[in-house]
Homo-oligomer: A and B are copies of this chain.
Amino acid sequence: MTENLLTAVAPDGEEALALVEASEERGLLCTLFGRCRVVYDGRASSRLDPGDRLVVLKPDGTVLVHTDGGQQPVNWQPPGCTHEAAVEDGEFVVRSHRSSPSEELVVRFERLRHATAYDVTDPAELALTGTEEDLRQRILDDPELLEPGFEPRATERETPAGAVDIYGEDTDGNVVVVELKRRRVGPDAVSQLNRYVEALVRDLHAGTTVRGVLVAPSVTDTATQLLAERDLEFVSLTPAPDT
């Protein structure tokens, strides 16, 4: 058994308890595999009958209950929760809770097949490209991508309805509100843009024309309809130049 690596095959309750507590003390990430029931009560409530699952306990208080399928855990607790392990009626039990909002998750193992604890301190930062931020920078670097003569004046400009992605001016001196989306958009993005435009129409001097431009790779038909109804515009752009 290596330093900062604990494992136990088919541990009984006490063994598992020792491992989880040691894990907690040393700030290790813990994985538990076995047959368990799960009860959750908080923002909603859920019950999960017995089944074989993988349970992950992270040093930051996160709890994940994973089944054989799906990217999302079937049950979970967010970071910042505190958990205690115990042996109750011969069953190994993990209780995780938080206040604000009040939430509790209880995982009760009928049978534990395996338990491990690892040190997973991770210094690296994820470098991600292709985000909305990249799309914004692409337009700021070359405003002509939006339209000839477009001049950005501000990003994240505040309005009563929220912050506008890019606020600028066209060649005729009209105000241009730009809403950016990194992927194909539907009706929600059009409504969002519309909120900003309406807020600015109210705020600015009467007589100022405010154009709203949605920038995204593409839009759905419904979104196109909505854009037309509200006199809003669309410009097709992706976060990264096409290759």
Contact = CB atoms under 8 A, between A and B. Distances in A.
A56 interface: yes
A82 to B, nearest CB: 15
Nearest to A240: B45
B64 A71 contact: yes
A75 B126 contact: yes
B46 A122 contact: no
Contact of A51 (B74, B123, B129, B194): B123
A143 interface: no
A120 interface: yes
* Contact-residue bracket for chain A: 35 or more
Number of copies: 2
A2 interface: yes
A188 to B, nearest CB: 7
Interface stretch (A85-93, A110-118, A169-177, A206-214): A110-118
A69 to B, nearest CB: 4
A195 B195 CA distance: 12
Nearest to A67: B122
Interface in A41-64: 43-54, 56, 58-60, 62, 64
A186 to B, nearest CB: 9
16 contacts: A2-B9, A5-B114, A7-B7, A43-B130, A46-B128, A48-B126, A51-B122, A52-B120, A54-B118, A58-B66, A58-B68, A62-B71, A114-B118, A160-B222, A162-B222, A188-B191
